[in-house]
Amino acid sequence: MDLSDVHWATSSYTNRWTKTCVEVADLGGGAVAVRDSDNRDLPPLRFTAGEWAAFRSGVRDGEFG
């Protein structure tokens, strides 16, 4: 899938001094692509709807803290 026309959203938690953050693009059907806002030449990571839902659930449950 070509990602040149997707809309990339930046988190509201972006570091305001360095502007470092990740960006997320909706790929449809719950799938997403994630990229580093500082290294946009690197290939984005792609996640299925199930993978993304599991990640979000883990964040909410504090699994990564």
- Model pTM? 0.80
Calculate ∠ Cα 13-51-9, nearest 5°. Answer: 30
Q: What is the spatial distance between Cα 52 and Cα 5, in angstroms, rounded to a whole number? A: 21
Residue 33: domain span? 8-60
| Number of domains present in the structure of the chain | 1
Question: Phi and psi dihedrals of 35, rounded to 5?
Answer: -135, 160
What distance in Å separates the CA atoms of residue 3 and residue 37, rounded to the nearest whole number?
15
In a 10 Å sphere around its CB, with 0-12 CB exposed, 13-18 middle and 19+ buried, how is residue 51 labelled?
middle
65 lies in some domain = no
Q: What is the pLDDT of residue 3?
A: 92
Residue 2 domain-assigned?
no
Read off the pLDDT of residues 2-57 as tens digits, 9 standing for 90 and up.
898 999 998 776 666 666 788 999 999 999 999 988 888 899 999 999 999 999 99
pLDDT of residue 11: 74
pLDDT of res. 16? 66
Does residue 26 lie in a domain region? yes
> Which two structure tokens, joined as six digits, stand for 56?
């979000």
Residue 65 has pLDDT above 80, yes or no: no
